[in-house]
Amino acid sequence: MNAQDLKNSILQLAVQGKLVEQRPEEGTAQELLKQIKAEKEKLIKEKKIKKEKPLPEITEEDIPFEIPKSWEWMRINDLVSKTIKRGKSPTYIDKSNVQVFAQKCNVKTGGINMELAQFLDEAKLTKYPEDEFLIDGDIVINSTGGGTMGRVGIFRESDRIGNMRIVPDSHVTVVRVIDGVNEKYLFYMLKYNQKVLEGAGEGSTNQKELKPITIMNLVIPLPPLEEQKRIVAKIEEILPYIDQYDKAYTKLETLNKKFPEDMKKSILQIAMQGKLVD
């Protein structure tokens, strides 16, 4: 089993509620959903988000496996504090105080690299409402093209260069969690579903797009908030060991590939020295 398979196994245990124990004193997702619903209504009243048409109810066909009784199946769109959408097509300039988050900033090896970003023409800032600027904990999903589409990252304040503000471009979808949902928990749930997202693009081969509605409709399991935090802590406790395993596994694979050729060379050398037979 390689490191990626091992990571997938850990995430599989996490989403099924088998990575950490359930604790009755932490309440239930059903209780949490009442809080989330109240927060949503508050945001709508304050006109921070728009009231949206309800998505289809979750059916038995949408549920891939059993989860603990204290959990609930939810659509991603029910767990966010702003509309799930892609950014705008930017107008670039050589230098400004605003960066544009592009797909390449969501790097393949994991993490965010804002050194790869270009700069927005600040004359166009009037096009951007305040909630479009990236904040700590925003989940970013590459949403076009066959190469990186579906890749999931999480933006942290430590990724910001100086005091620069950041907006996403039109190839990146932003998911911002609501109070009651741990952003890292949702990030790992989306990472678990990354292959699903990679395969959910619509359009021609070179112009595939991952539409926001597809992300909105994605179904994930939701535990109580404190359990979400414990799941995240356990995953992040295990990941460094998987990284160590990956280095050892890669080294072993390299040795295995080199062994037949090295053995052949050794045998030939012994033969040329007349030491192979009596």
DSSP H helical ranges for 136-182: none
Interval 16-30 mean pLDDT: 96
Poorest-pLDDT segment among 9-23, 87-101, 256-270: 256-270
On whether the CB atoms of residues 193 and 220 are closer than 8 A, the answer is yes
β strands within the chain, DSSP E: 72-75, 85-86, 92-93, 98-101, 118-120, 139-142, 152-154, 165-168, 172-175, 219-222
Q: Is the pLDDT of residue 85 over 90?
A: yes
Report d(CA 20, CA 229) in Å as an integer: 10
Mind listing the pLDDT tens digit for each residue in 107-145?
Answer: 987 899 999 999 999 999 999 999 999 999 999 999 998
- Checking DSSP bridges between strand 172-175 and strand 72-75, what pairing results, if any? unpaired
Residue the block writes with tokens 């700590």 = 136
Per-residue confidence (pLDDT) for residue 266, from 0 to 100: 63
Per-residue confidence (pLDDT) for residue 268, from 0 to 100: 62
Per-residue confidence (pLDDT) for residue 27, from 0 to 100: 96
Report d(CA 125, CA 111) in Å as an integer: 27
Mean pLDDT of the chain: 90
- DSSP SS3 for 204: coil
Q: What is the pTM of this model?
A: 0.87
Mind listing the pLDDT tens digit for each residue in 231-261?
Answer: 999 999 998 888 887 777 677 667 667 656 6
